[in-house]
Chains A and B, each alone.
Chain A
Amino acid sequence: MFANFRLSMSWVHTWFGLLFGFVLMICFFFGTLSVFDREIDRWAIPETRFDAQPMPSFDAVLQPVFAKLKPHPVDMAATAERVIGELPHPDTMPMTSLYAYTTHRDPVLRIGAEFAIPNQLKDPADDHLHVHGWGTVDPRSGAMLPEDRLKIGSEWFYPMHYSLNWNWNYLGILIVGLTGFMMLVALVTGVVVHRKIFREFFTFRPWKRAQRSTLDLHNMTGVLALPFHFFFAFTGLVIFASYYYFPMSTTMLKPLHDQHEIIEAQQTGLAHEPAGVAAPMASVDAMVLEAKRRWAARDMAGEVGYLYINHLGDKNGYVSIFRAGSDQVALVGQGVHFEAATGRVIREDPAPSAVASVNEFLTGLHLQHFRHWLLRWLYVVGGLMGCVCIATGFVFFVEKRKQQHAKTGSQGSRIVDAVAVATVTGIVIAAVAMLVANRLLPADMVGKGEWEKNVFWVVWMLAFIHAAIRSGPVAKAQLNPAWREQCWLLVMLAIAAVVLNAVTTGDHLIKTVFIDSYWPVAGVDLSLLATAFIAFVAARRLARHQHASDQAPNVESKRASHADLQPATLKTSF
């Protein structure tokens, strides 16, 4: 089919890179935003603009909060469809387990619980016989935050990067998984195709014509950040592999998995089933102190990241306390488990096996729960290089073909260009428009979060439609003016977001940087301004480029005919 191995790899790189590149761009861009998801949360919910808090006292603060926590209406409705008969009234359902979760960057605390129901399941294979309740707590006072404040960073941008926020049958997660795999393929084929990796290691020639300088930038950002790209695609796959991509434990091997759970419970002493005998609960605060003492004794003092209590109010109840592993890469729990009724230590998690340590390291490398601002920003650099690499891939694809397509009347490069605009400037516009909407919509509006999500989808769709409508010139081998126009829109939106934040919350940059420093909000504002600046420079350059090509259409067509003479050489030089 192909003259040589490199050409066949080139074909795979070009076409699979293009097809999956659009999804990959979403993964990379929103993944990059996720590095600062908790900071974006604080920008979007001004009530939470205080310092990150440690896990509060369970006995004094959390117990009364959990006493008030009810099954969530959303999960009530979902569960009602899966069980036989009517669900009991939510106020009468007993709480069987609960959790509280925080990180070193979280001012607020996420909590949740499971409530038992007496119903039978419609599908006996389904063993999810409880209703969930959840909420967000101000750890300083124990006050619950209103439910419909969307945490834009951690509940929208972050899940967008691994699930496209398309949860029907895990379809988004599966698409992203396939894309991650194709990214590994694209990296390997890209290395094969790009012959002069070391000779052109630092090579970027912005003064050369678009096709050449775009390819330079594509190669450079791809090669220089190769370890970063490889590790993030790979670890992303590792994290989801066992549960989503090879769901053996919930399908084929389910009986074995369930049996293993029971045996494991016997070995660890953490009861699998409740005893059915009521028991009081000892002081959880005392257990937390003991867990902290044990961590300190192992030379890794730290705060509690995750607290879990199972079989509440039962003699078999236990409290598991996990450490917030913010001082190392590996995502570790170092759990200490207590008998709920007495506070006696049942078990301290042993050191992980070699395989488990590798897994913890790879997971931690991707999820970055560690406290290291320098590394966090370096991740942003890597993520943005990934975005540039993918975006220049699209542009190069179009640049390479549009002259040819203009001659043959093909619309191919026009379509690719329109989708590229929507996935490059379009997603940034959608994300920033969401922040603008967040500041414009009144805080007490019912369903505010849902409206913010709608703004995101609608703006993104409009960006695509705009790019498609304006893509006519591409079919004539010219530049799509949508690139420039969307850059201008981005400049305006990004500045508007910063101004609206200052006006609606009073947290303007002079205050958040100099007077009363608050870096999470200042950082988001400064990043928005940087976005506006880059979009401004890009828009100016695109305008100049447009002007030049309008002035000299003959040169372009000459080049085109020259290129036509040597299609074979062009192809091999790619």
Chain B
Amino acid sequence: MIYTLAALITVLGFAWLALAMEEHWRQVHSSPLPSIGARRLMRILGALALLASLLLCLRVDYASMAVLVWVMYLVSSALLMALMLAWRPRLLSIAWPVRGS
């Protein structure tokens, strides 16, 4: 259960990190780019989400095991992100529904 939550948060974290990038924002939204401040906020939120997923993993397992699961979560979530941006970019607008600045 907590692992599922951690997985979702990792995906969300990567979605924010991706949306903070100009190229990927354009893939997801047709609206103009968000402000520098908004992009910085996305980066911070993304980093915090990845940290949060690490903490969640650490709650369920030994530290050594939890770190491995977390690293593999990062790998698979980033892969999922890249594939979504390639084939279903619009879905990612859920992560940041605000339409530009």
The residues of A with any CB-CB pair to B shorter than 8 Å are: 199, 201-206, 220-221, 224-225, 227-228, 327-330, 361, 365, 370, 372, 374-375, 378-379, 381-382, 385
The answer to whether A204 touches B82, judged by C-beta atoms less than 8 angstroms apart, is yes
Q: Does B31 contact A (CB under 8 A)?
A: no
The answer to whether A204 touches B83, judged by C-beta atoms less than 8 angstroms apart, is yes
Candidates B24, B72, B81, B82; contact of A375 at CB < 8 Å: B72
Bound-state CA distance A353–B82 (Å) is 42
Closest A residue to B76 by beta carbon equals A381
The answer to whether B83 touches A228, judged by C-beta atoms less than 8 angstroms apart, is no
Q: A202-B24, A375-B72, A381-B76 are in contact. Are A328 and B65 (CB under 8 A)?
A: yes
- Residues of A near B73 (CB, < 8 A) are 378
Question: Among the interface residues B64, B71, B79, B85, which one has the most CB atoms of the partner chain A within 10 A?
Answer: B79
Bound-state CA distance A372–B67 (Å) is 13
The answer to whether B75 touches A227, judged by C-beta atoms less than 8 angstroms apart, is yes
- Residues of A near B95 (CB, < 8 A) are none
Q: Does B3 contact A (CB under 8 A)?
A: yes
Known interface pairs A329-B65, A375-B72; 14 further A-B residue pairs with C-beta atoms within 8 A, sorted by A's residue number: A201-B18, A202-B24, A204-B83, A205-B86, A224-B78, A227-B74, A329-B64, A375-B68, A378-B73, A378-B75, A381-B79, A382-B72, A382-B75, A385-B79
Chain B 1-32 near chain A by CB (<8 Å), digits 1 or 0: 00100000000001000100101100000000
Q: How many residues belonging to B are interface residues under a CB distance threshold of 8 Å?
A: 26
Bound-state CA distance A361–B18 (Å) is 33
Bound-state CA distance A206–B82 (Å) is 11
The answer to whether B72 touches A201, judged by C-beta atoms less than 8 angstroms apart, is no
The answer to whether B78 touches A201, judged by C-beta atoms less than 8 angstroms apart, is yes
Q: A204-B86, A224-B79 are in contact. Are A381 and B72 (CB under 8 A)?
A: yes
The answer to whether A227 touches B62, judged by C-beta atoms less than 8 angstroms apart, is no
The answer to whether A378 touches B72, judged by C-beta atoms less than 8 angstroms apart, is yes
The answer to whether B75 touches A381, judged by C-beta atoms less than 8 angstroms apart, is yes
Bound-state CA distance A372–B64 (Å) is 13
9 cross-chain CB contacts under 8 A:
A201-B82, A202-B78, A227-B74, A329-B62, A375-B68, A375-B69, A378-B69, A381-B76, A381-B79
Q: A202-B24, A227-B71 are in contact. Are A372 and B65 (CB under 8 A)?
A: yes
Closest B residue to A198 by beta carbon equals B21
- Residues of B near A372 (CB, < 8 A) are 61, 65, 69
Chain B 42-72 near chain A by CB (<8 Å), digits 1 or 0: 0000000000000000000110110011011
The answer to whether B75 touches A202, judged by C-beta atoms less than 8 angstroms apart, is no
Closest A residue to B78 by beta carbon equals A224
Bound-state CA distance A202–B3 (Å) is 23
5 closest A-B pairs (Cβ-Cβ)? A378-B72, A202-B82, A329-B64, A224-B78, A204-B86
- Residues of B near A206 (CB, < 8 A) are 86-87
- Residues of A near B64 (CB, < 8 A) are 328-330, 361
Closest B residue to A229 by beta carbon equals B75
